[in-house]
Amino acid sequence: MTPDLLRAELDRLGITQRALSVMIDANYRTVRRWCSGGMDIPKAVMLLLEGLDPEDASDLIREARRA
């Protein structure tokens, strides 16, 4: 997945980079680096995002914030 595709997936899901970091329990700076091309994006992140719809993403973020 390229940084452009990652940003497009975030847009499709209606979530921010910070929300992604909360959802997957990753450091926000790491997510920013993925989005800027400074680090390779793990395949697991790509697969997770591609399999979600916006409602599922919102549910995961809410659950992660409660934990």
Contacts of 22 (CB under 8 A, 6+ apart): 61, 64, 65
Sorted by where each begins, the domain ranges of the chain are 3-66
Could you tell me the pTM of the whole model? 0.89
The angle formed by the CA atoms of residues 11, 60 and 64, to the nearest 5 degrees, is 115
Four-way CATH pick for 3-66: 3.40.50, 3.30.1490, 3.30.70, 1.10.260: 1.10.260
* CA-based radius of gyration for the chain: 11
- Could you list the pLDDT tens digit for every one of the 67 residues in the chain? 899 999 999 999 999 999 999 999 999 999 999 999 999 999 999 999 999 999 999 999 999 999 8
